[in-house]
Structure 1
Amino acid sequence: MRQQIGTTGRGLAVAAAVALMAGMALTAGAGTASAQPSSSSPAFDSLTSASHPDWMSGLPDGVGLGALSVPGTHDTLAIHGGLAPWAYEAQEDHGDGAATLDAQLNAGIRAIDIRVRVVNNGTAFAIHHTDVYQNANFDDVLTHAQAFLAAHPGETILMNLHGECDADTAEGGSGTASIGHCADDPASTTTADRIRVFQSYLARYPGLFYAPTVTGTSTAAMPSLGQVRGHIVLTAFSGPVGEIYPGYGLTQLTQGNWGSYVENDWTQCTTSTKWSEARGNIAAASADTSGAMFTTYLSANCSPFGAGPADVAGGTWFTTGVNQLALNDLTGSGGSQLSHTGVVLMDYPGYALIGALLSRDGIGG
């Protein structure tokens, strides 16, 4: 098992008995139990069945990022789930240390959702899904992204960066991790501390990020693809309770009415309703002529007592998954009328769903 920088992650429990087990297991390290789906389809859990490592390279330099259809992953590296993997795992497991990110990027994913915990006495970021360590650290993410962009310089990666731990005293928490809640190290970590840690990575990876999105003093206008090829675009940097850190990201997604461009009803697990909400935001993206970037989440999670990420994305015996509903729509007559979809963040995306999004960019195959 890969070692986390600093202290260990903790598992989620869904009932009193499991909670007790979790308490007993706190010294055992990050959870490695798996609830990876046992079946797949073209819409679900099959992203490596097609490859699109250079799909942006053929697009014009002058196209704005907001005018694209960009496949992405929600909770990009959530491949471990502690004692309740069905509640935590959200992506296909293609390996620790951000090897899973490699698989996603090669499949055409270009928007990633990175959740971090401050570790090692306030000096580094580890990748978490709440209290579960994902056997990867921020260095892994940046190293793998840098290698991908070096090999495919016509591409860019959009990154949403989020501080995951809401149990810190500065966030009004107890300062102690609990089931479903992580605490940073130290638990007194503040906004300024998270920014300082991030800045240390910027110093170690000079030129990797598109510079106007990481100044720390001002945000960036929506760039064209030609401006950001070969770089990570930081779309937003946010804290554990959703606060937007000023001076980072894209202006449109961090200031003013930025929330009006985002659909993320993450507790709506009735798949038909979830897709209807998502489709409305995608339609708004298509109709927009201002160059704004719309972001739509197909993901939702109602565990422990309702559907988990795989059930929402892939469906059950009784429901059609959101991913399949999206694929049906995007490849049908309605989808053909969309000029573009904006950024679409998915759990367990399938190769055909990725391809359907890319078809709006004129990408075939």
Structure 2
Amino acid sequence: MDIARRDLLKWAAGTGGSALAAGLALPGTARAAAGTTTPRGLPTDRWMSRLDGGLSVLGLTVPGTHDSCCQNPAYGTEWSHTQNWGIPQQLTEGVRFLDIRCNGLQDAPDELGIYHSDSYQHIRLQDVLDQCRAFLRSQPGETVLMRLRNERAGGQALDDAEFMRRVNHYLDDLGYRGLFHFYGWPTLATARGKIVLIADFANPWGLIDWSSGENGYFDTQDLWQTGGLDPLGTKGQRIVAQFDRAFLNPTYPKMFVNFLSYAGGYWPKTSSQALMDRTVYPYLSARTQQRARFGIVPMDFPDFHVNVLQMLIDKNFI
């Protein structure tokens, strides 16, 4: 089934989507308690602090989340539900890349709200930044990589100039500028205690510019919709190809990104489970003794796939 994601979101808001959400049966999954350690004994809340500060973030495997704030299907539908953990627990469990998507916030002319398409997730950008700042103060040896996206959706969509004005409001008027690293891929020593800002919005500032394909900063796999008889098989092939490409190019001067998430007519929970079971876990578990620089690896529902999350962290220490 080949349906545009935004059409899926709109369709699922009706009775058909509600009925499917109520009837969804989730396969058995792996879970973790807070304050965990990886199979190699790394504490998930401070694993980066164990790495040499001279290492560039380009040399890391960085587990992340896709649509990081979309916790509650009531704020949209099950089609837009991608996470169960909130930001504080994601960070505690070892996630270090956040996918933050913003529109304007109704009745708040200077603020940005977190959205999935046009569905407000009932959390503001300043809430996310405060959560990240609290975590980084408690774990100053860590860093967070953040994609900040202009979602451009619904009645709260913002044009380029207004989005930039509001970003500057956060940086200067609300005092968040010192929380960020802005320009070029840093070493860990430079990035520790800060958010590395990745700009997925038009700007003239020379920031690290996101690409969902390839540009001077990124080489990204983000196939979220395709046709054919086995679209999840096709997505799995793309995931493996990107893992292999990253493994075979350890000094490549761009950040690899490999999204493990997929929409394309499937519930996020079921597509995530199928891809993990069929492709991701078998690939990683067969290579547990192989160090790799996989770059950023965003996923849906890491609480269901703690084994994968922790294997990705451990890739940095083999």
The Cα of 1:78 is off from its aligned counterpart by 0.9
Give the SS at the match of 2:109.
Answer: coil
Asked whether the 8 Å contact 1:237–1:248 carries over to 2, the reply is no
Determine the structure 1 residue equivalent to 2:133: 146
Cα gap change, 1:221/1:165 in structure 2, threshold over 3 Å: closer, same or farther?
A: closer
1:123 partnered with 2:92:
no
Map residues 58-97 of structure 1 onto 2, 5 A cutoff: 58-82=50-74, 85-92=77-84, 94=85
Distance 1:37 1:196 in 2: 44
One-letter amino acid matched to 1:332: A
The Cα of 1:259 is off from its aligned counterpart by 8.1
Distance 1:342 1:152 in 2: 22
**2:242 maps to which of 272, 281, 284:** 281
Cα gap change, 1:311/1:46 in structure 2, threshold over 3 Å: closer, same or farther?
A: farther
Cα gap change, 1:41/1:258 in structure 2, threshold over 3 Å: closer, same or farther?
A: farther
Determine the structure 2 residue equivalent to 1:202: 171
Give the SS at the match of 2:55.
Answer: coil
Determine the structure 2 residue equivalent to 1:345: 298
Return the TM-score normalized by structure 2. Answer: 0.82
- The one-character-per-residue Cα deviations of 1:6-41 (angstroms, maximum 9, x if unpaired) are xxxxx944279549x9xxxxxxxxxxx989975552
Distance 1:18 1:259 in 2: 43
- The one-character-per-residue Cα deviations of 1:154-213 (angstroms, maximum 9, x if unpaired) are 0000000111133xxxxxxxxxxxxxxx221xx6x3201101101111122241111xx1
Determine the structure 2 residue equivalent to 1:14: 11
Distance 1:231 1:131 in 2: 29
Determine the structure 1 residue equivalent to 2:185: 222
Cα gap change, 1:89/1:15 in structure 2, threshold over 3 Å: closer, same or farther?
A: closer
Distance 1:17 1:252 in 2: 33
Map residues 19-30 of structure 1 onto 2, 5 A cutoff: none
Structure (1 or 2) with the greater helix fraction: 2
The Cα of 1:133 is off from its aligned counterpart by 1.4
Distance 2:137 2:22 in 1: 33
Distance 1:252 1:130 in 2: 18
Fraction of identical pairs, as percent: 28
Cα gap change, 1:323/1:261 in structure 2, threshold over 3 Å: closer, same or farther?
A: farther
The Cα of 1:339 is off from its aligned counterpart by 2.2
Asked whether the 8 Å contact 1:117–1:128 carries over to 2, the reply is yes
- The one-character-per-residue Cα deviations of 1:288-325 (angstroms, maximum 9, x if unpaired) are 213421111011112xxx2121111013xxxxx33662
Distance 1:49 1:149 in 2: 16
Cα gap change, 1:337/1:208 in structure 2, threshold over 3 Å: closer, same or farther?
A: same
Determine the structure 1 residue equivalent to 2:280: 326
Asked whether the 8 Å contact 2:35–2:45 carries over to 1, the reply is no
**1:257 maps to which of 203, 215, 218:** 215
Structure (1 or 2) with the greater strand fraction: 2
Distance 1:253 1:47 in 2: 34
Distance 2:210 2:111 in 1: 28
Return the TM-score normalized by structure 1. Answer: 0.72
Distance 1:250 1:274 in 2: 27
The Cα of 1:286 is off from its aligned counterpart by 2.0
How many residue pairs were aligned?
294
One-letter amino acid matched to 1:341: F
**Which sections of structure 1, spanning at least 5 residues, go unmatched?**
1-10, 22-32, 95-99, 167-181, 214-219, 239-243, 316-320
Cα gap change, 1:124/1:17 in structure 2, threshold over 3 Å: closer, same or farther?
A: closer
Computed over aligned residues only, the root mean square deviation of the Cα atoms, in angstroms, reads 3.1
**Which sections of structure 2, spanning at least 5 residues, go unmatched?**
1-7, 38-43
**2:100 maps to which of 101, 111, 114:** 114
Asked whether the 8 Å contact 2:217–2:254 carries over to 1, the reply is no
Give the SS at the match of 1:57.
Answer: helix
Give the SS at the match of 2:63.
Answer: strand
Asked whether the 8 Å contact 1:50–1:351 carries over to 2, the reply is no
Give the SS at the match of 1:198.
Answer: helix
Determine the structure 1 residue equivalent to 2:87: 101
Determine the structure 1 residue equivalent to 2:4: none
One-letter amino acid matched to 2:238: E
Asked whether the 8 Å contact 1:298–1:323 carries over to 2, the reply is no
Asked whether the 8 Å contact 1:261–1:295 carries over to 2, the reply is yes
Determine the structure 2 residue equivalent to 1:231: 194
Distance 1:48 1:344 in 2: 21
With 128-137 and 144-153 compared, the bigger mean Cα shift is at 128-137
One-letter amino acid matched to 2:194: H
Q: Which runs of 4+ in 1 moved over 6 A?
A: 33-37
**2:155 maps to which of 160, 183, 205:** 183
One-letter amino acid matched to 1:41: T
Cα gap change, 1:34/1:193 in structure 2, threshold over 3 Å: closer, same or farther?
A: farther
